[in-house]
Amino acid sequence: MIIIDGKQTAFDIKKEIKEEVDKIVSKGNRAPHLAAILVGHDGGSETYVAHKIKDCAEVGFKSTMIRYEDDVTEEELLAKVAELNADDELDGFIVQLPLPKHISEQKVIEAIDPKKDVDGFHPVNVGRMVIGLPAFVSATPDGIVELIRRYKIETSGKNCVIVGRSNIVGRPLSILMSQKSINATVTVAHSRTKDLEKVCAEADILIAALGSPEFIKGNMVKEGAVVIDVGTTRVESTETKSGFKLKGDVKYDEVAPKCSFITPVPGGVGPMTRVSLLKNTLLAAKKTIFK
């Protein structure tokens, strides 16, 4: 059984990105520039944005953080998005979700110029990805595919079961896994799927993205399967200083001995998600997606 080391892989990719940035800058160009809009003071969102800013510094990107209080209006936010769309010194930006209830997330996402949509949430990028055109692919599915590629996991003709059909993980991942470069036969399971245990137990590649700690038990996994655990649920813990720890969707102790490959939580998919945003920002700076 091989434990897929997302932390080390993300470290390697960051090194590659840094080398590219150094080349860009040594030719007299400005460094790639990412901005993040953060609304309110949600603990999780604050942490995610802080990580993104730190990651930028590590690879030599410029980053800008734009903060608003919870009571910012939709109009104010849309005006800032328009300003960032028009800023020639900025390659890409993200609006950290979730947004307060009085703001339409969809409206904000659709206001972002697809050429700067490094989160890959704009319908233009989703549509381009679906038909196999170059696109900004959302970070978590992109990170998972990158892990599968870097670990040279055989995917062609394999039965891939994805549990979860969200717009940010399960659904885009199902499209990527069925693309011609990957060639898996994909099943997307969800809360209405019948006999989920049996469906999962038939998977050569099982991807758990449902957000239910330790849901996937040993009896749901075939001998020799590849198991990718996307779940990250904060559960209270007396073992950590913060008072919580992250739990995956897979009951690791039961499942790992049966696997050929497995991702741990933490240290599996999470670091890859972070690095995919950097990859997209570099692509935006190099203008390779929309020519």
Query: Please, which residues bridge with residue 39 across strands?
Result: 68
Nearest approach, Cβ of residue 55 and ligand NAP (Å): 13
Interface size with ligand NAP, residues (CB under 6 A): 25
- Laid out side by side, the sheet with 2-3 consists of 2-3, 259-262, 225-229, 205-208, 159-163, 185-189
Of 166, 179, 183, 187, the one binding ligand NAP by CB under 6 A: 166
Binding mask 179-218 for ligand NAP (x = CB under 6 A): ----------xxxxx--x------------xxxx------
Of 63, 232, 276, 281, the one binding ligand NAP by CB under 6 A: 232
For β-strands 205-208 and 159-163, DSSP reports them as: parallel
Phi, psi of 211, deg, nearest 5: 80, 35
Of 140, 263, 276, 280, the one binding ligand NAP by CB under 6 A: 140
Gap between the Cα atoms of 270 and 85, Å rounded: 28
Nearest approach, Cβ of residue 139 and ligand NAP (Å): 7
Query: Please, which residues bridge with residue 93 across strands?
Result: 35, 117
Residue 234, helix vs strand vs coil: strand
Maximum distance among all Cα pairs of the chain, rounded to whole angstroms: 59
Length of the chain: 291
Nearest approach, Cβ of residue 269 and ligand NAP (Å): 4
Calculate helix-pair angle for 170-178, 123-130, nearest 10 degrees.
Answer: 30
Query: Using the rule CB under 6 A, is 45 a contact of ligand NAP?
Result: no
Q: Where are the beta strands (DSSP E) in 62-101?
A: 62-68, 92-95
Non-local CB neighbours of 47 within 8 Å, separated by 6+ positions: none
Nearest approach, Cβ of residue 142 and ligand NAP (Å): 11
Of 129, 161, 230, 275, the one binding ligand NAP by CB under 6 A: 230
Of 92, 141, 172, 231, the one binding ligand NAP by CB under 6 A: 231
Nearest approach, Cβ of residue 73 and ligand NAP (Å): 26
Q: Closest CB to ligand NAP among 18 and 190?
A: 190
Give the residue numbers annotated as catalytic, written as ranges.
52, 96, 119
Residue 86, helix vs strand vs coil: coil
Of 169, 205, 225, 255, the one binding ligand NAP by CB under 6 A: 169
- Look up residue 239 and give its DSSP letter: S
Binding mask 253-272 for ligand NAP (x = CB under 6 A): ----------------xx--
What residue ranges bind ligand NAP (CB under 6 A)? 140, 163-166, 168-170, 189-193, 196, 209-212, 230-233, 269-270, 273
